Amino acid sequence: MKLSKKMTAIAAAAFATIAGMALWAPAGFGQAAAPQGGGAAREGATAPALPIEYTHLGLIQAGSIKNYTDVTDTMLTNPSPDDWLMYRGNYSAWSFSNLNQINATNVNQLQLKWTLTMNDGGANETTPLVHDGVMFLFSPGNTVQAIKADTGELLWQNNLGPLSPSLNPGGDVAERSLGLYEDKVIVPTMQGKIYALDARTGKVDWQTFYSDPSNPEEGQHGSDGGVIIVHGKIIIGMTNCSRIPQTSHCYISAYDANTGKRVWKFATVANKGEPGGDTWNNMPDDHRGGVETWIAGTYDPELNTTYWGTAQAKPWRRDARGSGAGATLYANSTLALDPDTGKLKWYYSHAPGESLDLDEVFERILIDHGAQKTLMTVGKPGILWKLDRVTGKYLDSRETVFQNIFVNIDPKTGEPTYRKDVIDQKTDQWLPSCPGPEGGKDWPPASYHQPDDEIIIPLSQSCVLMASDFSQQFYEMPGTEGNMGRLSAYETNTMKPLWSLQQRSPFLTGVVSTAGNVAFVGDFDRVFHAFDTKTGTQLWKTRLGTTVQGHIASFAVNGKQYIAVMSGVGGSSPEQKPSFILAGEVSRPMHGNAIYVFGLPDNNQQASSR
Amino acid sequence: MLRGDTRSGSKNSAIAAKNAMGRLRVTVRFSVVLAVGLAFAMSAAAAPEAYQINLGPVARSNATQMTAVGRGTADAALDGNKLSINGMFGGLASPATDAHLCQGAGIGVSGTCTNGLAVSQAPSGSVSGTVILNVKQIAALRAGQLYVQINSQKAPAPAGNLWGWILIAHETEGQDVPQQDHWFLPQYDMPQSVEHGSTHPLKTKPNS
């Protein structure tokens, strides 16, 4: 019943947008809902009221979740397969579920169990988190909901705000993951704040700035890449660090989960006089931009080390930046940090002096092969890197898509050599780049299918001509016959390629694989797929309301396994490039942020595996 | 153009090219490439080298997004120093005006257009020509630096309408079909790329 009302409300809001109406609420409206999170109802002229979901901040639906158990460090280290406690499922970013009730033989029987539309007005790339049968979901406008994970019943909703200025799609204001710790839901926002909500009631426990806009030492940065919580410390990265001059560089920082007090801060740009500060061609400190950490890191409890990727230096091209051939540390690197102090243990620069908007910022997947502890990651150039995560030493690499950026990769150090015209770039020169800023690989995370030591990577295939002022023109990647989407599997111990497939539309969700030997992934053209992890054969697919975008979660409630997936629009390069290249060919609704939850028919359930 | 039935097409790129717009999803296997490559190595020195071209829209901006459209395919063969190109194209937003053989610094890297090719003065039709290559051009061809560009009334030179790099004949399964092993296009002059793209046809060193 509650869902039905919400659907009606969202339909009304969508109508208002279509009709070009402004968002407003009559004076005094919504008195029953006490705003929380520092906001208030929007003021406006007298006019028919929109539902409070679209006009009011605060706890607009109160609730109290009984029998909710606190999320402990032990749980985070060894998550129950029934839960999906964090971004990418576990500390190692495996995006893998040990549940096997839904498997390669019955996945074709999947059916929709429930769906819930989410706020439009911003990009949807989020991760549904699940604990004790309760799902916590983030929507644009910093709305957080607690939902019964098996039925879709709304338990509480807090609109933290600020509300989206428009219900129009687009923008790159995404938040890829919440965090859970003890009795709190941790909510990072793009407005520089972290909130801690009471998981049982949704009430704000504390809030703090990780980037205070009133503090010139911190500037006004945002974070869209989720968090990782280690030893009661919320560790968060940062984006929007491209403004020049820049008095405040990007940093990774940690906060006490009980109080919100900052514990440490690590700046990702090396200034003059600091280690690595001589890698910026003597540029002034305030011209050293970028080096964002817009994807949350991973964590190895045994080594007590958290691993983060960094983005490229800004401005994007060397000639505009003025950094010459310098490595611009710690841009496009892997950083290994002590989670308790923020101290740098080691770094590895994947692409020194990067110049074509090709981030190496994405998930660091932690995989052991016997005694060897490795870290694997893929950046926008599409190179699958393998490092020793104890020392940071380069071990191996593989190209996963066609690339024409590098002409050599040193087999001992992994240092790439750029194409000559990239090195010699001139200000008036358009530089071709395959892959372009869409990646190769972008934010949708790969899955490590542990039973087969197999990494399954969502890849994209497009190219760009880039000007010094960052103007871009797009074209298809040679050798792909126009197929922008690619899914490839590798055995991680040997780096041996196992299988690949490609399709016209790119994949826009992360991959989640399960012990049932199924890999789930969604695409730009609204298709949600299930593939056989061993062969890449498609086992099942269905069409959702709009682009299948965001993160997937596998969980179980009362012994029944479910698969949750997001649909959404908006976002940056991975969504914008196919929107351009496939215009007139692939059409999708420009609204439709939503979550869909699938399961087997009720008469086909078996006990979930652990 | 590439969506829909991708499994029923021919597994021979040459046939697909002749069937042009309706059957552009060339679905053939790399294993055949290896066989062809080995055949090259064992055959007479004068055997022509086989190449293929997939023509797609050039790099586009907002201004040219809807004018530089279309698709095509072509076969190419190098016999001695004579490069022959024959292909089809369609779906242009305006009639084609001229076509050229062009050279950049690598696969996917645009450059300078020189030799003219014959092209139908229409939104769809054929593109063909024979060009005598010098030694440097032959080396450029084998390094993936040569490409074909078709210009049109609404998408004129220098940016053009369609382009496609002249790649050593290779085979893929096509859309939606899993394929074992490596099969992305390697960069022809990068050692690791050849290694990582384990089915790289240059391993067989076609005759010059």
pLDDT of residue B180 exceeding 60: yes
Average confidence score pLDDT of chain B:
77
Q: Is A419 on the interface with B (CB under 8 A)?
A: yes
Residue A531 to chain B, least CA–CA distance (Å): 10
Residues contacting A380, CB < 8 A, separation 6+: A357, A358, A359, A360, A435, A437, A438, A439, A440, A441, A442
Burial category of A368 from C-beta neighbours within 10 Å (exposed 0-12, middle 13-18, buried 19 and up):
middle
**Position B184 confidence tier, pLDDT thresholds 50, 70, 90:** confident
pLDDT of residue A34 exceeding 60: no
pLDDT of residue A173 exceeding 90: no
Please give the distance of CA B167 from its chain centroid, rounded to a whole number.
5
Q: Which amino acid is at A291?
A: V
Nearest one of A59, A57, A55, A64 to A9, comparing CA atoms: A55
Model's pTM, two decimal places?
0.88
Residues of A in contact with B173 (CB under 8 A): 501
Alpha-helical regions (H) of A353-418? none
What value of ipTM does the predicted structure carry?
Answer: 0.86
Q: Do A399 and B196 touch (CB under 8 A)?
A: yes
Q: Is A467 on the interface with B (CB under 8 A)?
A: no
Choose, out of A386, A426, A466, A502, the residue to mutate when testing the contact with B (most B CBs < 10 Å). Answer: A502
Residue B197 to chain A, least CA–CA distance (Å): 8
Q: What is the pLDDT of residues A505-549, one digit of tens each?
A: 999 999 999 999 999 999 999 999 999 999 999 999 999 999 999
Q: What is the pLDDT of residues A204-233, one digit of tens each?
A: 999 999 998 888 777 778 999 999 999 999
Q: Quick one: residue A232, left, alpha or beta (phi over 0 = left, psi -120 to 50 = alpha)?
A: left
| Nearest chain A residue to B194, by CA | A399
Residues of A in contact with B112 (CB under 8 A): none
CA distance A341 to A345: 11
Q: Is A482 on the interface with B (CB under 8 A)?
A: yes
Residue B91 to chain A, least CA–CA distance (Å): 12
Query: In what helix (H) or strand (E) does residue B57 lie, and over which residues does it extend?
Result: strand B49-57
Length of chain A: 610
DSSP 8-class letter at A248 = S
Mean pLDDT to the nearest integer, A455-482: 94
CA distance B146 to B142: 8
Q: What is the pLDDT of residues A539-549, one digit of tens each?
A: 999 999 999 99
Q: What integer pLDDT is reported at residue B183 of this predicted model?
A: 73
Q: What is the pLDDT of residues A55-107, one digit of tens each?
A: 789 999 999 999 999 999 999 999 999 999 999 999 999 999 999 999 999 99
Average confidence score pLDDT of chain A:
89
pLDDT of residue A53 exceeding 80: no
pLDDT of residue B100 exceeding 70: yes
A35: tokens are 């705003």
pLDDT of residue A431 exceeding 80: yes
Task: State whether the Cα torsion A514-A519-A523-A528 is positive or negative.
Answer: negative
Classify domain B13-203 at the CATH class level.
mainly beta
Domains and CATH numbers, chain A: 62-162+173-604 (2.140.10.10)
| Nearest chain A residue to B175, by CA | A503
Q: Do A483 and B104 touch (CB under 8 A)?
A: no
Residue B195 to chain A, least CA–CA distance (Å): 9
Q: Do A407 and B178 touch (CB under 8 A)?
A: no
Residues of B in contact with A406 (CB under 8 A): 190
Partners of A129 in the beta sheet? A136
